[in-house]
Chains A and B, each alone.
Chain A
């Protein structure tokens, strides 16, 4: 059972790191249960845009609302509560190699536990909790790895552990930052298909950042093209034209020389 799906509303969002702008004047609406991919060249602001959705990045100006609630400036406890409903698969996965798969997945619910109650599953997981974890792992096809250490797993298996952690979290939203970057083409397709299936079955809002534009165009419902921090297009995948892509990936004059 996941939390009800969550929608996002970005209005006039700018994000600046020091003097450089990572995002400029971004307006975006994401409906609950929608699947959206940020696409664009490196440094376009895809990861920053994802970071806005769980408050890991705050806008320099503009607002980010999650089901109507402004994410910036929330009290710490409220922000933690909101974040506990937002699953995240970071690019580097954020798994602990010398813990077991079961423990890494159990970490998914830490946002909902108190400081001390959060320690118990690390030391002693209840049978019910393990059964639940095993069901999720089985669904992702790595059930037999339940008690393996994560650093003994392959890249693809680790990716699944990170997905399992997000599913165990019972979030309403799943954010995935470049989830395919470390995978070979066949595995990338398989993983994206899996993510989409999971999101559909659970009714999750799924927001991804993707490098592989062809795969995104083939599988993801809505694409938001980012270039130098600006939204250059925001369309259903069938409406994305080759012109859009040329514009998205065209090198700047000085970049071409460099």
Chain B
């Protein structure tokens, strides 16, 4: 008996080994398909020159404009950097504020914990409530599908679509951020709400509270710490997205980065990059502090 049990010992390599082998094969197949060779990573003669120029720029970022074709009414470079950073943050804040509204509303509708069946409830009442639950379940499903659609398209693709539909307006940039971010927030918020312990939900229901009250008193405050922490994290992401949207012509830092790069003003490029790095670093610091306060308090 015990010998059989011992003999049945699973080999440590059997499953994990197969998985590892599969991953290695997939990687090799991908490299072979693309015809990648390590030598391709080395730039050619011209490329080396550009690379050297670019890396030199890193050591001496520009404090004034490079080149001579600067319009007379252009602000000093550092003022332009500051303005671009400011607008990057403003676009991020506007986009995220809209996506927070979307996230809370759809997160509420996409959560089940405030209306789901209590398994001990009586058959008579369950039957009576069945039509309401069917409606709620249908709403829930359609909200989940909507959330998935919003999320599955990247903000840059939304920007392409919205640029065509609305033109290069501030609003199109804000919506381009708000749609995918709203979807992501809604998904995560609804999961956080559904993962909350249900004891308060049960005890509030037991004293006659309605679904909305149960949500606002029993679920939302419980999930609030995690939800805020996640929202802060998404704000950092929104700043990066907002910067990149500049490549489409919106007046965030990406716009100037692209202009300078196209004019081969690499020292200016580095000024913008350093400014962006500093901003993201500061936000990271600030939000991790806030997160600690909200979650640990």
Give chain A's interface residues, CB within 8 Å of chain B: 17, 51, 54-59, 72-76, 79-84, 86-88, 90, 92-99, 103, 107-108, 110-116, 118-119, 122, 149, 169, 171
The answer to whether B208 and A83 touch across the interface, beta carbons within 8 angstroms, is: yes
Contact of B277 with A by CB under 8 A: no
Of B9-17, B151-159, B162-170, B211-219, the one contacting chain A is: B211-219
Residue numbers in B under 8 Å from A99 (CB-CB): 217, 221
Q: Is the CB of B207 within 8 A of A108?
A: yes
Beyond A59-B122, A90-B199, whether A83 also contacts B217 by CB under 8 A is no
Q: Which of B38-46, B124-132, B140-148, B176-184 contacts A (4 or more CB under 8 A)?
A: B124-132
Residues 181-203 of B, flagged 1 when their CB comes within 8 A of A and 0 if not, give 00000000000000000011011
**Taking the nearest CB of chain A, how far is it from the CB of B4, in angstroms?**
27
A107 touches B204 (CB 8 A): yes
Identify the closest chain A residue to B124 (Cβ): A73
Quick one: which of B120, B203, B212, B225 contacts A94, CB cutoff 8 A? Answer: B203
Complex contacts, B213 vs chain A, CB 8 Å: 110, 113, 115, 118-119
B125→A73 contact, CB < 8 A: yes
CA distance A112 to B207 in the complex (A): 9
Q: Assuming the A-B contacts A76-B129, A90-B199, are A122 and B208 also in contact, with contact meaning beta carbons closer than 8 angstroms in the complex?
A: no
Interface of A, helix, strand, loop or mixed by DSSP: loop
* B125 and A110 contacting across the interface, CB-CB below 8 Å: no
Q: Give 1 or 0 for each of B89-124: 1 = CB within 8 Å of chain A CB.
A: 000000000000000000000000000001011111
Q: Answer whether A83 and B120 are a contact pair too, CB < 8 Å, given A90-B199, A94-B199.
A: no
* Cα–Cα distance between A111 and B218 once the two chains are bound (Å): 13
The reply to whether A87 and B212 form a contact with Cβ atoms under 8 Å apart is no
Given A90-B199, A94-B199, answer yes or no on A110-B118 (Cβ-Cβ < 8 Å).
no
Q: List 28 A-B contacts (CB under 8 A).
A: A55-B122, A56-B118, A56-B120, A56-B202, A56-B205, A56-B206, A57-B120, A58-B120, A59-B122, A76-B128, A79-B125, A80-B209, A86-B206, A88-B206, A94-B200, A94-B203, A95-B200, A96-B217, A98-B297, A108-B207, A110-B204, A110-B209, A110-B213, A113-B213, A114-B210, A118-B210, A118-B212, A119-B213
B87 at the interface (CB under 8 A from A): no
The answer to whether A90 and B209 have CB atoms under 8 Å apart is no
CB pair A119 B212 closer than 8 Å: yes
Cross-interface CB contact of B122 among A17, A73, A92, A111, cutoff 8 Å = A73
10 shortest interchain CB distances as A-B pairs: A58-B122, A111-B208, A94-B203, A83-B208, A84-B208, A73-B124, A110-B209, A118-B213, A80-B208, A115-B212
